[in-house]
Amino acid sequence: MNGNSAQKIVPVLLSGGTGSRLWPLSRELYPKQFLPLCSDRTMLQDTALRVSAQPGSTAPGSTQSGAPAEVAFSAPLVICNQEHRFLAAEQLRQSRCIPRGIILEPAGRNTAAACALAALAVTADDPDALLLILPADHEIRDADAFRRAVAIAARAAQAGRLVTFGIAPTRPETGYGYIRRGHSMDEADGAYNVAAFVEKPSLEVAERYLAEGSYAWNSGMFLFPAARLLAELERHAPAVLAACREALEQGAKDLDFFRLDAAAFAKAPSISIDYAVMERTDRAAVVPCEIGWTDVGAWSALWDVGSKDGEGNVVVGDVLLEGARDCYVRSDNHLTAVVGVENAVVVVVDDAVLVADRSQAQDVKRIVDRLKAEGRSESVSHRRVHRPWGSYQSLHTGDRFQVKSLTIAPGSRLSLQKHHHRAEHWVVVNGTALVTRGEEQVMVYENQSIYIPIGTVHRLENPGKVPLTIIEVQSGSYLGEDDIVRLEDVYGRN
């Protein structure tokens, strides 16, 4: 990059994880990247906004430390699980971010496949593109330092290198992989050849790495020349590349999304880009940086980055502390009191409570594994379930009946549908409902109700400009969500 020119970079936002170590807040159908964990925005929104600001402007988290870097980003490409498609699209819309595209994965296949998909999709239009690979669940507090690191990495990538970002370690961390830097690159001041990738070390080894000063944490963020990445995948991970190429060729456009062919994508080996390419290529480079980075992988990480009181506690929500020290306490809906404990994590949500030693926060995943093994819904979803038209929440369930609260966004509507085993009674609490019931359409206003018999074709719409709130009483022999026969659906869920 010379003079006033700026390298155009395509951000690729990887949003396919489930965040099981942040249970009970993070669930399979509503994982951590869609939650506001580090700011008022969700992590996906913060990641998108971080790469949408123009050179010289202040991106989210910016500390304005030093001159802003001369880099320019194109619209981001988002890769996410197909179950999260409407969450991702809506959160980007709220952030006024128009993505280049949203690719839907029918199943998780790790980061090598995601990177291959991005490279194939982008090079179809721009063979010379640079891809900035960003997990959507990372916190970066110094956005200007991040942009400067990206500018350095872009120069290295233009020289044909596959670049990773190495985080200057602040402690002897045993939960991260490390990168040992080699000699500096002539083509990019501030970039280095990678001497070695190192697995997660023991505490003794991590302390030595910290003292030596030539090691950095492996951040999982990369900047690749797209065409070079494809060549390296062909060389080192051809099965991944072949499966992704077929999945794209056999895939199809669906509304604002692109659906991969499920059978083809299932052939892709589940392997990280680190193992598949970075540890095998002779073109790996690293840009060491200090950007206020945190991999928000566990509750202990949120304690690390949180604003602490005089006793070292991080508090979110309606919480009272007495004699507590160095704790992370979060309560979304209930008054939570914590007395006389240290180094604890306490998280309270509607349907679950977590209490853990902060040093064992990584082991929360074991609880999620047990919930899955027992077939319990608490690993999958919250009581409030989000849909493209709004959300619903189960209030009470009994023998042959269930009560729910539905919130329908202005201008939205549910599918035209029927049920074989249940009837429904709707009471309008707030707003105005337009109800299709058989051959008739009925306007239902606040404090009015309407009955939908078993087997009747029906639809619920919100024609107004304020959210519509409905109390729904279901009754019948079977009340499962799979007793929905969709006849017409604007969201493509038929």
- Which pair of structure tokens corresponds to residue 347? 């998280």
Q: How confident is the model over 447-469, as a mean pLDDT? A: 97
Least confident of 116-125, 202-211, 235-244: 202-211
Convert 381-410 into a string of H (helix), E (strand) and C (coil).
CCCEEEECCEEEEEEEEECCEEEEEEEECC
Hey, how many other C-beta atoms are within 10 angstroms of the C-beta on 179? 27
Q: How many residues does the chain have?
A: 494
Q: Please determine, for residue 56, whether its predicted confidence score (pLDDT) is greater than 70.
A: no
pLDDT higher than threshold 60 for residue 62? no
- CB neighbour list of residue 196: distance below 8 Å, 6 or more residues apart: 179, 180
Q: What is the pLDDT of residues 6-30, one digit of tens each?
A: 558 999 999 988 889 999 999 999 9
Summary mean pLDDT of the chain: 92
- Return the pLDDT at 174: 84
Name the pLDDT band for 5 (thresholds 50, 70, 90): very low
Instruction: Specify the residue for token string 């964990």.
Output: 37
What percentage of the chain reaches a pLDDT higher than 90? 84
| pLDDT of res. 58 | 44
Percent of the chain whose predicted confidence (pLDDT) is above 70 = 95
Rounded mean pLDDT, 140-159: 95
> pLDDT value at position 333?
84
**Residue 262 DSSP class:** H
pTM: 0.87
Q: Do the Cβ atoms of 378 and 371 come closer than 8 Å?
A: yes
pLDDT tens track for 218-227 = 999 999 999 9
Residue 57 has pLDDT above 60, yes or no: no
Q: Tens digit of pLDDT for each residue in 293-318?
A: 999 989 999 999 999 999 999 999 99
Listed residue (120, 345, 84, 385) closest to 242, CA to CA: 120
Predicted local confidence at residue 481, as pLDDT: 86
> Is pLDDT at 492 greater than 90 in this prediction?
no
Which domains are present in the chain? 7-295 (3.90.550.10), 299-373 (no CATH), 384-488 (2.60.120.10)
Query: Average pLDDT for residues 118-137, to the nearest whole number?
Result: 95
> In angstroms, rounded to a whole number, what is the distance separating the alpha carbons of residues 128 and 119?
10
pLDDT tier, 53 (very low <50, low <70, confident <90, very high otherwise): low
Q: For residue 31, what pLDDT is reported?
A: 95
Map residue 273 onto helix, strand or coil.
Answer: helix
Asked whether 19 and 33 are in contact (CB, 8 A), the reply is yes
- pLDDT score at 66: 45
pLDDT band at 213 (very low <50, low <70, confident <90, very high): confident
Ranked by mean pLDDT, the top range of 126-135, 204-213, 378-387 is: 126-135
Does residue 60 register a pLDDT over 60? Answer: no
Among the residue ranges 63-77, 250-264, 269-283, 321-335, the one predicted with the least confidence is 63-77
**pLDDT at residue 52, as a whole number:** 84
Q: What is the per-residue pLDDT across 285-294, written as a single tens digit (0 to 9) for each?
A: 999 999 999 9
- Quick: pLDDT tens for 167-183: 999 888 888 899 999 99
Q: Which residue has the tokens 């202005």?
A: 410
